[in-house]
Structure 1
Amino acid sequence: MNEPSANHSTFVIKRNYKHSPTRVFAAWAGQAAKAGWFPKAEEFDFRVGGREFNRGGPSGGPVYTFDACYQEIVPDKRIVYSYTMDMEDTRISVSVTTVEFIPAEGGTRLIYTEQGVFLDGHDTPEQREHGTKWLLDRLGDALDSQ
């Protein structure tokens, strides 16, 4: 068992996509579109106060649970959500995330900001940032393949 600890951290990831803010936003707002680059949600209610919930993980490995609540949605501009991440029955982090969609020459500048507390050494900000970068790369691939 790890010693109780709370590691607070913020990271920012910026990506440019060659698609309009409306199209990039839609890839977050629709369950089918989001499933093309993010783990498929068991529950997906994209509205303020709505929930997104999924479970999964590597074959033979631990099950991770993502449980989010949408706090603010400004169509084509911004999404703010809070979420918990559990590994099996252990809470490993709690975060607030802001995703901004900014018109840019030739497409969209996406700014992803996560403010989190990573609990008891079960996860680190560096691991979460690495995984989020991978997901945002998958988003770009999904947009380009449509």
Structure 2
Amino acid sequence: MTDRSCIHATFVVERVYAASPARVFAAFADPEKKKQWFKGPDEWGPPDQKYDFRVGGEEHSIGGPPGEPPHRFYNRYLEIIPNERIVYTYWMHHGEPLASASVATLEFRAEGAKTRVVVTEVGAFLDGYYSAEGREEGIRWQMEAVAKVVEG
């Protein structure tokens, strides 16, 4: 039997990009651009992904380290304001069990010729599969990967 637990957490990650809000927003909206950064480490191999960037659209990304249960990410977009804000809810499974559920907001703020992206996440981390600290580290890793797409 699994020991049940639920840890609630909120965190904020900010990153400034040397690119316009439209260029940074496109890294999230355009499936070809998103494929370049929305993935695990290269040793995980290519993920199974589906993109549907629209209000009500659902997406998934499934992958993970070889020989381990897959990390399964599913999301649904609640609000999209081009070049300004994205709000979505997402849930993750570690293998079959539900491991976390979150609401995330991405805000795109112009700062001269640059863009500040503010990611705020409110999550429930279930049964010890994932932690808020690990998720925050993963979001920071993704934000660095976005930089390679929009600045490089």
TM-score, normalisation: structure 1: 0.95
1:18 aligns with 2:25: no
Secondary structure in structure 1 of the residue aligned to 2:130: coil
Cα RMSD (Å): 1.2
Q: Percent identity?
A: 43
Within 2, Cα distance between the matches of 1:70 and 1:41?
Answer: 19
**Number of matched pairs:** 145
Which structure 2 residues correspond to residues 1-146 of structure 1 after superposition, within 5 A? Answer: 1-39=1-39, 42-145=49-152
Amino acid at match of 1:87: H
Within 2, Cα distance between the matches of 1:41 and 1:79?
Answer: 23
Amino acid at match of 2:94: M
Q: What are structure 2's unaligned runs of at least 5 residues?
A: 40-46
Deviation, 1:12, is 0.1
CA contact (8 A) 1:78 1:99 kept: yes
CA contact (8 A) 2:48 2:63 kept: no
Q: What are structure 1's unaligned runs of at least 5 residues?
A: none
